[in-house]
Amino acid sequence: MRKKIVAGNWKMNMNLNEGMALADGLNEYFKANPLSGKEVILCTPFIHLGMVGGLLTAPGLTFGAQNCNDHKSGAYTGEVSASMIRSTGAGSVILGHSERRTLYGENDELLESKTAEALRNGLRVIFCCGEVFAEREGNIHFDVVKRQLEKGLFGLSAEDFRRCVIAYEPVWAIGTGVTASPAQAQEMHSFIRGLVEKKYGKETAGDTTILYGGSCKASNAAELFANSDVDGGLIGGASLVKEEFCSIVNSL
């Protein structure tokens, strides 16, 4: 059975106190309003992980990181390893976010090794893919997403792949206020599920959680989540406001 998930990507926002206050507020909310089978993942900055993790007691409310290094340990000043992340109790890590790809030059090969390292350390990977606007205009968006998945993810064994979640995030929709239409989201999600089926078979494809991300908010979450291949969302800006984020989770 595929899992329904809403993940909040806090990006580089909120100091430690603000982050703890938000996590605490969400924990209280989801204690009072049980997630009943859904999962909510708070993907916080590295420095928040240990403290935020210690606050979360609501069933289904978990936490994770937004990036990790591809090496095990060593002389990589300023970097954070997958095993360090896991040691905080975090269960997930976002990899391949378009901001990492474009601002920090992360390519498919690097993402493949980061993914392997994260999985080796017991983290679930939320693997992001998505085209830029010119690629959609040029009608090569399916090719772009196919390449990202084939190069970054499809080298995994079936067993490892089953510990990954895919997030489709059209880059033109991230932080812009422009959302993919429900039909555009469904079309790409169904394409992605088809690729997974070709590679790993029908059962694994049916079990794979595929999230939509890109200007998803309380006012449009329900129509996006209503599509049969959209299993939840990866939420940026709207994950920083408790009421907004809770309302998105409730739409799922």
Residue 169: active-site member: yes
Of all residues in this chain, which one has the CB nearest to ligand PGA in the complex?
236
Given a contact cutoff of 8 angstroms between Cβ atoms, the answer to whether 36 and 25 are in contact is no
Instruction: Please state the closest distance from residue 151 (CB atom) to ligand PGA, in A.
Output: 21
Token look-up 């893919």 returns: 129
Q: Residue 118 — left, alpha, or beta (φ > 0 → left; ψ -120 to 50 → alpha)? A: alpha
Token look-up 């499809």 returns: 154
Instruction: Please state the closest distance from residue 248 (CB atom) to ligand PGA, in A.
Output: 10
Largest CA distance in the chain: 48
The one catalytic residue in 48, 97, 141, 189 is 97
Of 5 and 174, which CB lies nearer to ligand PGA in the complex structure?
174
Instruction: Please state the closest distance from residue 88 (CB atom) to ligand PGA, in A.
Output: 21
Q: How far apart are the first and last CA of the chain?
A: 16
The one catalytic residue in 106, 117, 131, 169 is 169
Of 64 and 236, which CB lies nearer to ligand PGA in the complex structure?
236
Q: Which residues contact ligand PGA by CB under 6 A?
A: 9, 169, 174-175, 213-216, 234-238
Q: Burial, 36: exposed, middle or buried (Cβ in 10 Å; 0-12, 13-18, 19+)?
A: exposed
Of 7 and 205, which CB lies nearer to ligand PGA in the complex structure?
7
Residue 97: active-site member: yes
Query: Which residue numbers are catalytic?
Result: 97, 169
